[in-house]
Homo-oligomer: A and B are copies of this chain.
């Protein structure tokens, strides 16, 4: 039986999962691939820690270059995350003619194009199924399963930590900070949770999805990003009453050759499938012009789901090697020569519906003042409710708009926030309901 030799850089949670999976499912993998996969070298700074899996001492090394430079290694798997030294090591592996696999979304979202060009130049492949939505094979779906489609829209719940917190706030009540602390204690949130809760991690993943769906290279800095830390129980409660759920959503939309790309908390109708994606689960809802709306759902992170994606890439590249068929599918879905610059719309140009919550003094005429200002900026009101909950004479006014341009909404809110009756900054949450 033929043999594929793998070298791994990074022996943390996902690395351990990859080794477990390659061993535990060795038989089915062999029967499907027609070759055996062996892990020859694993590099990590810490090669002493117990990981619950036996590894021969000769396999372990603290020097990643013994992985990238070993001539007998076919596939180099990078699982250390972060920009450096991951970037340098991947470039070195590519320069050595290795097939490479990575789950490093931050690196891809920042330097994806550089890595693709390097791989293209050397005629090797780069697999990154594990970088978006954990075990859901969404990369392969966009590049292969739905390859015949143009995509009008992609909506993604792409961060398990943020979704866990919002689900918990929705189902059990409680405020953001308490639930975050609890999630950290349970290991659902990192000690430093900012990448997750501020939306940056979601933006990394959206950058990768957009690049593949539209044949462009978007770095994540160009994506408007807003996190969930400002969501209050009041917002959750009230949107529930209105028949909505709040989700941290990654949104991409093609409109007349321009791309809308944004990450922010979003109101989704309660009866939509995406509303049912709870806890640490992820989902991608994608509209293809031929296929119509599709949804892909599964665990977005964790040792074994991510390992499932990484091993699927190892097998994919092995298949290419066994047939001598490198670069069969271009890494970012489009052939290198057709990757183009696309204009990313400024968030101020986005037209959508809004949920607004005003904290104002409970005085006669306040609502008329607010609606007057909105009206002058061309923002028409869908519905408005003033809630009786008063704290020191302050009242909350909840308002849903019809479609409006973000720039106009911001101008109107600036004016409203300066009113003498305004007691706090107006809360704004965008709505996605033309589902």
B288 pairs with A135, CB closer than 8 A = yes
- Among the listed stretches A162-170, A218-226, A298-306, which one makes contact with chain B, having 4 or more residues with CB under 8 Å of it? A298-306
Q: Contacts A148-B308, A290-B135, A298-B292 given; indicate if A328 touches B323 (C-beta within 8 A).
A: yes
Q: Does A215 contact B (CB under 8 A)?
A: yes
Q: Oligomeric state, in number of copies? A: 2
Among candidates B136, B137, B308, B325, residue contacting A323 with C-beta atoms closer than 8 Å: B325
| A295 pairs with B297, CB closer than 8 A | yes
Q: Which of B24, B140, B147 contacts A32 (CB 8 A)?
A: B147
Would you list which residues of chain A between 276 and 317 have a CB under 8 Å from chain B?
Answer: 276, 288-299, 302, 304-305, 307-309, 311-312, 315-316
Q: Which of A102-116 contact B (CB under 8 A)?
A: none
**Nearest neighbor of A302 in chain B, beta-carbon distance:** B292
Q: Mark A246-288, 1 if CB is under 8 A from B, else 0.
A: 0000000000000000000000000101001000000000001
Q: Are A148 and B21 in contact (CB under 8 A)?
A: yes
**Which residues 335-386 of A sit at the B interface, judged by CB distance below 8 A?**
335, 338
- Complex alpha-carbon distance, A315 and B150, angstroms: 15
Report the minimum CB–CB distance from A263 to chain B (whole Å): 23
Question: CA of A298 to CA of B284 in the docked complex: distance in angstroms?
Answer: 12
1/0 per residue A98-138: CB within 8 Å of B?
Answer: 00000000000000000000000000000001000001110
A144 in the interface (beta carbon within 8 A): yes
List of B residues within 8 angstroms of A135 by Cβ: 146, 288, 290-292, 294
A434 within 8 A of partner (CB): no
User: Would you call A55 an interface residue if the criterion is a C-beta within 8 Å of the partner chain's C-beta atoms?
Assistant: no
Query: Which single member of B290, B319, B334 contacts A31 (CB below 8 Å)?
Result: B334
A294 touches B292 (CB 8 A): no
Interfacial chain B residues near A82, Cβ < 8 Å: none
| Contacting pair A312 B145 (CB below 8 A) | yes
B residues near A326, Cβ cutoff 8 Å: 323
A245 at interface (Cβ–Cβ under 8 A)?
Answer: no
Complex contact A289–B324 (CB within 8 A): no
A294-B297, A297-B273 known; A141-B146 Cβ under 8 A: no
Query: Considering the complex of A and B, which 8 residue pairs feature the smallest CB-CB distances, nearest first?
Result: A137-B145, A325-B325, A135-B291, A31-B338, A148-B311, A323-B325, A294-B298, A290-B308
Q: Could you list some 6 contacts between A and B, CB below 8 A? A: A135-B292, A148-B311, A273-B273, A289-B304, A290-B305, A328-B328
Known: A293-B299, A295-B295, A323-B324. 17 other contacts (CB 8 A): A25-B149, A32-B330, A32-B334, A135-B292, A140-B145, A144-B312, A144-B315, A147-B315, A148-B308, A148-B312, A291-B308, A294-B297, A294-B298, A296-B297, A323-B325, A323-B328, A324-B325
